[in-house]
Structure 1
Amino acid sequence: MAENAWWGEFTFNLKQQRCWRLGDRSIILQRFENEWNSWNLESDVENDEDMVVGEPVEDCCIEQAKFGRYLQQSTSERIQVLPLLADRSVVARPDTPLTLLAGEKARLYVSTPIWFSAKLQPKGEKLLDLPFWRPSDSWFGPSTRIGQICYAKYTAARIQLTNIEKRAHRAITPITVINNHSESLTIERINVPVTLLHLYSDEASQLWTTGISVHRGSHIDNVELHLDKHAPVEAISSVLVSNPRVASEQSILIRSISSLFA
């Protein structure tokens, strides 16, 4: 675990509390002899503050939080906290529609939301799995019958990495689009399959996913979706943090173009 990372293995003494706080957004855990307690204090406003891990602050409105009790015959002192990618695909969109000309390729960067996961050690029982800020639901597909439920966090797709804000509760996904078709490709929305991606941390504890490459052939409307097997080159001194929610042995998937772009 890097020095400024908010995840890893944490040791709790009896009755000890720990708080993960992003401005007004807080997640609190407390250990007792036969149970764990949690407080999930949500906030309507997503902010860019640094994550603070420590004791709950005095002005924390804990009475407004969602309270949970998790019973055990005897609690262990260790908990593993990990960031996870969303449990559905996430829809991103550029500030304005992008048109990729025939025979060209481009690399986009998308910021996607992170979930807070806590597992009890040593057996790995799940205690919490919740988003810092839950995106709204959205239908993505060519019709009301064909498509899937996604998260509609319309995070901007950028063509310059420097234009992506680096935040503790978000991961960056590089997407390379290769258009070998005879016609241009207009991108208004992108369906990012984050459930299939590994999660990495760079030397500054910024979270990254494995990169995605989308290959559009010359004569067909289906595309090949390539999932990288390693961290993106932009993630300096990267280490693996968590595995995909959905395991897949395939690194190349065939998709209809309407299932990825709109």
Structure 2
Amino acid sequence: MKNNIWWGEFTFNVQQQQSWSVGERAILLKRKATEWNLWNIESDEEGDDIIVSDGSAFNLDDKVAAGRFLEQMTTDKIKVYPLLADRTFIARPSSPLTILAGEKTQLFISTPLWFYAETFPGAKPLVDLPFWRPSDSWFGRSTIDGQLCYAKYTTAKTDIDELDLHPHRATTSIMLINNHNKALTINRINVPVNYLHLYSDSKNQLWTSRLTIEVKDDSADVELIIEKKFPSDFDALTFISKPRVLSEHGKLIRRISNLFG
């Protein structure tokens, strides 16, 4: 299967295995009568397409299962979802971004996805793994005031037509509004992907909820709004999965030092 739809409901016979692979990177599941086995084959190189197959291309004879999940009797189906990261992401543009006073701009930032699988019916979690685990990073004013995040470099595109989309990544649209009398220079931006919903467009590319971030005057706080609607230049989107952390009001207040660097 090579059509970018790698999530959904999958059927397994007893002793059957299936894999989700991106180049040499693969996650394999095998059903037995009373347990599920997991193999997590990692790679440093990112591929382009996720291929769902029987996993016969991967020799498991010399690999120990990364997990064994026991049940009295396994069912013949599992559900697979893409999920966003379980922490916020520090996006580092390849060069500093400066938004002039009184201006606004839209950025597009992509982040890696997690592979999540659960039993069906029953919804018992089996797997929650990133396709590529990002590096850990601390973001904040000090070792006390801040948070543990993931980090990545990004080109931070401003034109939707220039995006390089991949099925193992999701793209976040961020509207940045600088209602300050000074220019705002951004070397890093802390993107709260763990608060965002995940959607798919008609080409099965994955998008998160849209963010609006407004900087006002000399306030130390920044208003961050999780938008419920997408602008008209977006394709129609289908809901895929919920956020890791639910925000009741769709609005977050962050100290500017914990959002921009």
TM more than 0.5: yes
Q: Is the 8 A contact 2:215 2:222 kept in 1?
A: yes
2:100 is matched with 101
2:246 is matched with 247
| Matched position secondary structure for 1:168 | coil
- Structure 1 residues 232 and 140: CA distance shift in structure 2, 3 A: farther
Aligned 1:92-171 pairs, distance under 5 A: 92-171=91-170
Q: Is the 8 A contact 1:208 1:235 kept in 2?
A: no
1:198 is matched with 197
Rounded to whole Å, the distance in 2 between the matches of 1:153 and 1:64 is: 30
Letter in 1 for 2:94: D
Q: Is the 8 A contact 1:41 1:62 kept in 2?
A: no
1:36 is matched with 36
- Structure 1 residues 198 and 168: CA distance shift in structure 2, 3 A: same
1:230 is matched with 229
Q: Is the 8 A contact 2:198 2:207 kept in 1?
A: yes
Letter in 2 for 1:175: I
Letter in 2 for 1:89: T
Q: Does 1:12 align with 2:37?
A: no
Cα offset, 1:134, TM superposition: 0.2
2:46 is matched with 46
TM-score normalised by length of structure 1: 0.94
Rounded to whole Å, the distance in 2 between the matches of 1:234 and 1:206 is: 15
Q: Is the 8 A contact 1:83 1:114 kept in 2?
A: yes
Rounded to whole Å, the distance in 1 between the matches of 2:92 and 2:21 is: 28
Deviations 1:65-122, CA, capped at 9 Å, x for gaps: 6521111001111100000000000111221101111100000000011000000011
Cα offset, 1:158, TM superposition: 1.7
1:185 is matched with 184
Aligned 1:57-96 pairs, distance under 5 A: 57-60=56-59, 63-64=62-63, 66-96=65-95
Cα offset, 1:231, TM superposition: 4.7
TM-score normalised by length of structure 2: 0.94
- Structure 1 residues 233 and 17: CA distance shift in structure 2, 3 A: farther
Cα offset, 1:162, TM superposition: 3.1
Q: Does 1:23 align with 2:15?
A: no
- Structure 1 residues 61 and 171: CA distance shift in structure 2, 3 A: same
Q: Is the 8 A contact 1:107 1:175 kept in 2?
A: yes
Number of aligned residue pairs: give it: 260
1:172 is matched with 171
Cα offset, 1:221, TM superposition: 3.0
Rounded to whole Å, the distance in 2 between the matches of 1:62 and 1:213 is: 50
Q: Is the 8 A contact 2:17 2:31 kept in 1?
A: yes
Q: Does 1:217 align with 2:205?
A: no
Stretch of structure 1 that moved more, 178-187 or 50-59: 50-59
Rounded to whole Å, the distance in 1 between the matches of 2:3 and 2:234 is: 17
Cα offset, 1:4, TM superposition: 4.0
- Structure 1 residues 196 and 234: CA distance shift in structure 2, 3 A: farther
The alignment-based identity, stated in percent, is 50
**Which blocks of at least 5 consecutive residues in structure 2 are unaligned?**
none
